[in-house]
Structure 1
Amino acid sequence: MKNITLFGAGKSATILIDYLLHNAARQKWHVTVADHDLQLVKSKTGKSYYATPVAIDVKDAGSRQKLIREADLVISLLPPALHILVARDCIQFKKHLLTASYLDAEVKKLEPEIAAAGVLFLYEMGLDPGLDHMSAMKLIHSIEKKGGQISSFKSYCGGLISPESNDNPWSYKISWNPRNIVMAGSSGAVYKEKGRIREVQYEQLFDHNKTVQVPSIGKLAYYPNRDSLGYMEAYHLENINTFMRATLRFPDFCEGWNALIKLGLTRDGVKLSTDHLPYFQWASQQIDAHPAHLSHEEIVAQYLGVSAKSKVIRQLKFLGILNGDQIALGERSNADVLQHVLENKLKMEDHDKDLIVMQHEIEFERRNLPTRINSYLIVQGEDAVHTAMAKTVGLPLGIMAKLVLSDKIALTGLHIPILPEIYNPVLKELEEFDIKFVESFE
């Protein structure tokens, strides 16, 4: 029997665990799910004969290495900073490693050791990054095989709230790691547009967002995502005029988030005492003057350059950060406080449904005819647990685990999913779960 060890049982793990356990008897698997919260693990593994729930402090080397040593394959859904601990152990014990997280510089340094160990390390095997790479590369390779010359590539993806569950002024609810939401975009972005390299600082990232039209959804705002240029070489599109990867949101969200940035509430690192700190004082810490004749809403509105009756002020009031209640969280950074606020005010209720939207726009020329292909995907969740986010992050990992353990993937070394031997079988099986792209030409 093959042993799979999964580290992390959070929001994105639900469908992955379901998939692994559903296939366990047929594939002769046993699945160990390890997380610091044992009750959370048990809620997701149930009473399955093929599952072992484990409580673990992943920083405890002895406990972590015991689980990795006993595994044939390891999947990590831990916070990104902790992947390196698992990665080093997987090299030491020669175990395959799959994760949905970005391929970072620390892991890249281990590439010679990974190759020498003869194992597969597959990073960016989730939704975004992951499903975006696979679907994009399938299109790119198809266009190039037919003689097309690509000039522009744009890829958009967003985890959104489904319209029937959109009942707050932010047009957003949390379906994935809340810390990642707070820190999204904090490093700014760089991309290529019409032959020019464009860099956008975090402070301008959510300001005056452009929009894209998505079939059956309508107009969505987007902001460029991290360093798009790093993928031009991976996609073999180094010489094209436009290359951008971007994140989708409903326009209301971007307007509100831009206000939070201007107020300094997304900053991390520096900690402050919150035990006797009112929310309004925290929210207005950058504002020098607090005229007595103005209300809290008017003071913040004046600083932001908006009306006290504007949508942005309604959004801040909805979060509860313009009142006099005390925060009382001890020593925390602004980002910590904001995360606490969002987890309470923008949480998904049991009946809520989320939405995954992905769209690629590729312009190319073939036989002197300019053509544009649009390829889009829309996936709706079932409820607050069985989310579209968990489905689109978890299923690619589960399918890949099956391919590796059944010796249908011969790859070793460090990779992201841009090769046909990865994306073809994974995308094919994803269609069985109604995860299928729709294409149109212009």
Structure 2
Amino acid sequence: MVATRNTRVMLPRARLPCTPLRLRLLSRRDITTLGLRREDPARIWERRTALTPQAVEQLLVESNGKGKEELKVQVESCARRCFSDQEYHEAGARIVPSLNDDVDVVLGIKEPPLSDVHALLKAGEAAGKKRTWMMFSHTHKGQEYNTPLLSSFLLPNEGQTLVDHELLTAPSIGKDGKEHLKRVAAFGWYAGAVGAGEALSLTGVALLKRGVASPLLHLPRPYTFGSLAKFKVALRKTGDAIRSAAVAIREPIVIGLTGAGNVSGGAKDMLDAMGVVWVTVDQLADLRKDCACDKIYACAIPPSSYLTTHEGSQYNRVEYRKSPELYRSQFAEKIAPFLTTLINGVGWSAGYPRTMSTEDLSGLFDRTGGKQKLVAVQDISCDKEGGLEFVKKYTTIDERYFEGPNGMLISSIDILPTELAADASAHFSETVLPYVRRTLFPNATESDRCGELATLRRAVIVKEGELTNQHRWLLPRVDDWRTSIRSSRTNPVPSHVSTRSIKKKVLLLGSGLVAGPAVEILASRSDVHLAVASNNLVEARGHSKARSNVEAISLDVSDDTALGEAVNTADVIVSLLPAPMHPQVAKHCIKHGRHLVTASYVSSEMKALDQQAQQNDVLLLGECGLDPGIDSMAAMRILDRVQREGKKVTSFVSWCGGLPELSASQVPLRYKFSWSPKAVLTAAQNEAQYKWDGQNVNIPGHQLLSRHFPWVDLWDDLPLEGLANRDSMPYAYKYGLGPIDSLTNLFRGTLRYRGFSTLLDSFRKLGLLRSDPLKSPPQTWDQMLLSSAGRELGVREELRCRDIGSVLRDLVGAKQADETHDALRCFGLLPGDQSSPRVPMPLLSQPTNVDLFAHLLSKKLAYSPGERDTCLLHHSFDLTSPVSGDGQASTQKVTASLLCHGDENASAMSVTVGKTLAFAALRVVDGQVKRRGVTGPYEREVWQGVLESLEEVGVVVEEKWS
């Protein structure tokens, strides 16, 4: 039931603290103003509110009785909120476009946009306005991303008090008979209720992917209903449909539920509404023999059923909480094989055993005869890579699931209660109302028999501009952040100025394909002003998308004066320009004291600028893309642990590559391009050095393709080959692997689909990859081929069209002649052949064969609509541990892998390069990178934060330690 002025919402259970019905005597005569925020507009699904219109009316009636006016309420207008502006108006509130400086208490659910906070702070600054903010601030655990918000409430901004809903706790007697502090204002029950609904709907989709259409497929998702009551009616109807028509599956549907708190309680109530049959853990195995499919079974899974000590002793709750390292989980062996769907309501903390690891799933797959029964997981706890290690990312209401191992569908939505926004808000409003009342009128003479003032004191993080005692440990983090803001500018910010109001300026040079994902990340920060500079102003403007903190500027980087002026306007420059242009940009950065971040290898020309950069306190940070970039960061994360554990590396082999998805690779070279192919063509002729099986190997550039690795088996169903990638030897020093002599393997390679290297080598033999200027530019593609082949054969006179067959046999060999002939026909290079559409010959001032061929391939091997790319990364380390007491050194293998697919919005390559570059730039602009001079992402201050940020957007490097 939706709460309006004349209705009361019926909650699923009575669990409210005692509250006074009226506030009889108030100690203050002046008017107090409560401001009810709208939630951040960027959170499009956030429709909840902290107080219902009914609660607002109750507060106004209580405080403004007997002809006195003690309270006013402002409500920010919001068309998305689950209760309308009109309902709040009828309750007696004033509807405002934004809260003004009269507000004494600001109340909301989630943390507000920083711009809104700063606007109120500025409005009340002159009058020294004291104000209390109540919200889920997500600051009390030291969350780095909200340090700017916490800083806003601290001195020199005076008089600000922060109360966190999450810390509102009251004494409660636990199952152990002891008194514990329990949260009094939370959404846990609704998270569980909505999570159960999402899990049941997800099960219907997952079963359909297995070829089974069950009634669960037709269960609408919770957000499509106006109330909890309507949703429960739909659950009952779905249960009736299941009971009236058996589902055509071999085994019954079994839902497993973990947890014993409010979350699991909400989930259990919804499963009961559907009419599930509850069974015990001991009965799960027998259900597989029972083919009665006219019902759904559910099982509440206690920790005692799957947690044992390593020695096999039974679960003891007190011991487990005290010494979790003594325990291991047998969930994958004892329970998971019998579940269709798992609803996880158990939180997880580091140091505790995982309920199921990613590795556990492989054993689960094998146990069930090649087809895993577990098809869906709804992780309500949303502990990414936590108790369920294979939950690699958060999902959204828009995109609720991703496909995990063995085709399992995984959902981890972290704002589930907002799907039933009105009911969840009504519940939260009634639980938080006593504490809002006490915050508005702390000196009221009403008795405090329920301990509301003590509960409020426990929830205060900031008191009038200063951290409370239990939260003072957060101050160094705030100080470091503020220092980084000041140090990011040439002129230090005065200490009395609120540094958060100053925009950090980033200049992005280039507006090509990588720019989109980079802009997305940079522009998501409201404290960042981004300028996108390009010689294509229309393309640059396309990246702004009406974002207020993004501007497009026209810039020709060949105009050195204009380039210098543009660099001088920013704090950090992010360059997407070709690598040879980076030294020019870097010199301007050194001159003006600005930092530079690129995705390109650190060249010798860039290294030569190291001393100048250090002297001018400038950072020139390169290699922050995919390869180089994520590959080095992932390696450094592993090596950091290796060093801490006192182990040594004996072998390091790394592979990386960007490829079309397998379905899009049925073309010559089995490769496609989303930008200029020239870099790929030239890289295929680089010299290479590495160490393999104890032997140093040197490959001249003209032999690189012919000496490729024909079989690289890393992922199932991906037919890969590999090429050595430049000089691997310096990485022993860069990564700190130790002396090269102590390594069996030291290798970095590039991945391609099988057949790429041989065919490209044929093109090389035909002279199509040569980079020396052409004396007489060809007028047609077949003329280019004939003149190039003639030059390779040493024939002075022009080759004739009919000679092409023998030319191919002479240059590439009889074995490869047919394949090469077919590829040349596909590209439109064969003389006289009209079977392939012709690409116009480009007009270049100083053309080379490789430039012309790259242009041709960019047209012939471009991605078609709907086709996507894939980025792959795989590291393999062999380690030895210190010699043990028996004189033996143990060995260990560690792998790190990334498999990233493009989508309809962006290619995998642009995401992995652009977002990595942007996250690195944000760490620099935030002052979190102290290093100066020319360097790559080899310091913890770079790689740790960037990898964590990438994981939050779904780019995850998975580690496996054997």
User: 2:660 is aligned with what amino acid?
Assistant: I
Partner of 1:206: 705
Asked if structure 2 preserves the Cα contact closer than 8 Å seen for 1:59 and 1:85, the reply is: no
- The match for 2:944 among 424, 432, 437 is 424
Asked if structure 1 preserves the Cα contact closer than 8 Å seen for 2:599 and 2:913, the reply is: yes
Asked if structure 1 preserves the Cα contact closer than 8 Å seen for 2:801 and 2:831, the reply is: no
Decide whether aligned partners of structure 1 residues 301 and 55 sit closer, same or farther in structure 2, where only a CA change above 3 A counts: farther
Asked if structure 2 preserves the Cα contact closer than 8 Å seen for 1:375 and 1:439, the reply is: yes
Asked if structure 2 preserves the Cα contact closer than 8 Å seen for 1:301 and 1:313, the reply is: no
Asked if structure 1 preserves the Cα contact closer than 8 Å seen for 2:675 and 2:858, the reply is: no
1:207-242, CA deviations, whole angstroms, 9 ceiling, x for partnerless residues?
A: 142132122453311111111112221112233232
User: 1:369 is aligned with what amino acid?
Assistant: S
1:105 aligns with 2:604: yes
After TM superposition, the structure 1 stretch with the greater mean CA deviation from structure 2, 60-69 or 87-96, is 60-69
Instruction: State the alpha-carbon separation in 2 of the partners of residues 34 and 372 from structure 1.
Output: 46
Structure 1 residue 339, shift from structure 2 partner: 1.0
Partner of 2:511: 9
User: 2:595 is aligned with what amino acid?
Assistant: H
- The match for 1:280 among 757, 771, 785 is 785
How many positions carry a matched residue from both structures? 438
After TM superposition, the structure 1 stretch with the greater mean CA deviation from structure 2, 322-331 or 60-69, is 322-331
1:264-292, CA deviations, whole angstroms, 9 ceiling, x for partnerless residues?
A: 21111222333435243145232357997
Structure 1 residue 393, shift from structure 2 partner: 0.6
Asked if structure 2 preserves the Cα contact closer than 8 Å seen for 1:176 and 1:389, the reply is: no
Decide whether aligned partners of structure 1 residues 182 and 343 sit closer, same or farther in structure 2, where only a CA change above 3 A counts: same
1:316 aligns with 2:824: yes
1:59 aligns with 2:558: yes
1:397 aligns with 2:917: yes
Partner of 2:619: 120
After TM superposition, the structure 1 stretch with the greater mean CA deviation from structure 2, 228-237 or 275-284, is 275-284
What SS does the corresponding residue of 1:129 show, helix, strand or coil? coil
Which 5+ residue runs of structure 1 have no aligned equivalent?
A: none
1:39-81, CA deviations, whole angstroms, 9 ceiling, x for partnerless residues?
A: 2222333332222212222121221111111101111111111
Asked if structure 2 preserves the Cα contact closer than 8 Å seen for 1:354 and 1:388, the reply is: yes
Instruction: State the alpha-carbon separation in 1 of the partners of residues 772 and 621 from structure 2.
Output: 31
Asked if structure 1 preserves the Cα contact closer than 8 Å seen for 2:672 and 2:861, the reply is: yes
1:162 aligns with 2:661: yes
After TM superposition, the structure 1 stretch with the greater mean CA deviation from structure 2, 275-284 or 311-320, is 275-284
User: 1:168 is aligned with what amino acid?
Assistant: V
1:64-116, CA deviations, whole angstroms, 9 ceiling, x for partnerless residues?
A: 11111110111111111110111000001001111111111112111111111
After TM superposition, the structure 1 stretch with the greater mean CA deviation from structure 2, 255-264 or 297-306, is 297-306
TM-score (norm 2): 0.44
Instruction: State the alpha-carbon separation in 2 of the partners of residues 96 and 328 from structure 1.
Output: 37
User: 1:280 is aligned with what amino acid?
Assistant: L
1:250 aligns with 2:753: yes
Partner of 2:897: 376
1:263 aligns with 2:766: yes
Instruction: State the alpha-carbon separation in 1 of the partners of residues 800 and 505 from structure 2.
Output: 65
1:106-139, CA deviations, whole angstroms, 9 ceiling, x for partnerless residues?
A: 1211111111111222111111111110001111
Structure 1 residue 335, shift from structure 2 partner: 1.0
After TM superposition, the structure 1 stretch with the greater mean CA deviation from structure 2, 340-349 or 93-102, is 340-349
Percent of aligned positions that are identical = 27
Instruction: State the alpha-carbon separation in 2 of the partners of residues 186 and 14 from structure 1.
Output: 30
Higher relative contact order (CA 8 A, sep 6+): 1
Decide whether aligned partners of structure 1 residues 66 and 113 sit closer, same or farther in structure 2, where only a CA change above 3 A counts: same
User: 2:512 is aligned with what amino acid?
Assistant: G
TM-score (norm 1): 0.92
Partner of 1:38: 537
After TM superposition, the structure 1 stretch with the greater mean CA deviation from structure 2, 211-220 or 65-74, is 211-220
1:332-352, CA deviations, whole angstroms, 9 ceiling, x for partnerless residues?
A: 111111111111111122322
Partner of 1:386: 906
Instruction: State the alpha-carbon separation in 1 of the partners of residues 707 and 693 from structure 2.
Output: 19
User: 1:342 is aligned with what amino acid?
Assistant: L
Larger radius of gyration: 2
User: 1:365 is aligned with what amino acid?
Assistant: T
- The match for 2:869 among 354, 357, 363 is 354
Partner of 2:522: 20
Asked if structure 1 preserves the Cα contact closer than 8 Å seen for 2:869 and 2:907, the reply is: yes
Instruction: State the alpha-carbon separation in 2 of the partners of residues 309 and 73 from structure 1.
Output: 52
Decide whether aligned partners of structure 1 residues 73 and 291 sit closer, same or farther in structure 2, where only a CA change above 3 A counts: closer
Instruction: State the alpha-carbon separation in 2 of the partners of residues 208 and 188 from structure 1.
Output: 11
User: 2:864 is aligned with what amino acid?
Assistant: E
Decide whether aligned partners of structure 1 residues 195 and 291 sit closer, same or farther in structure 2, where only a CA change above 3 A counts: same
Instruction: State the alpha-carbon separation in 2 of the partners of residues 82 and 303 from structure 1.
Output: 36
Asked if structure 1 preserves the Cα contact closer than 8 Å seen for 2:625 and 2:916, the reply is: yes
After TM superposition, the structure 1 stretch with the greater mean CA deviation from structure 2, 276-285 or 11-20, is 276-285
What SS does the corresponding residue of 1:11 show, helix, strand or coil? coil
Asked if structure 2 preserves the Cα contact closer than 8 Å seen for 1:182 and 1:338, the reply is: no
1:224 aligns with 2:224: no
Instruction: State the alpha-carbon separation in 1 of the partners of residues 817 and 612 from structure 2.
Output: 59
Decide whether aligned partners of structure 1 residues 293 and 179 sit closer, same or farther in structure 2, where only a CA change above 3 A counts: closer
After TM superposition, the structure 1 stretch with the greater mean CA deviation from structure 2, 165-174 or 284-293, is 284-293
1:311-340, CA deviations, whole angstroms, 9 ceiling, x for partnerless residues?
A: 333223222222347947465111111111
Asked if structure 2 preserves the Cα contact closer than 8 Å seen for 1:76 and 1:83, the reply is: yes
Which 5+ residue runs of structure 2 have no aligned equivalent?
A: 1-502, 833-837, 884-888
RMSD value, Cα: 2.3
Instruction: State the alpha-carbon separation in 2 of the partners of residues 321 and 420 from structure 1.
Output: 50
Structure 1 residue 405, shift from structure 2 partner: 2.1
- The match for 1:364 among 855, 879, 891 is 879
Instruction: State the alpha-carbon separation in 2 of the partners of residues 297 and 235 from structure 1.
Output: 49
Instruction: State the alpha-carbon separation in 1 of the partners of residues 718 and 914 from structure 2.
Output: 27
Decide whether aligned partners of structure 1 residues 260 and 321 sit closer, same or farther in structure 2, where only a CA change above 3 A counts: same
User: 1:89 is aligned with what amino acid?
Assistant: H
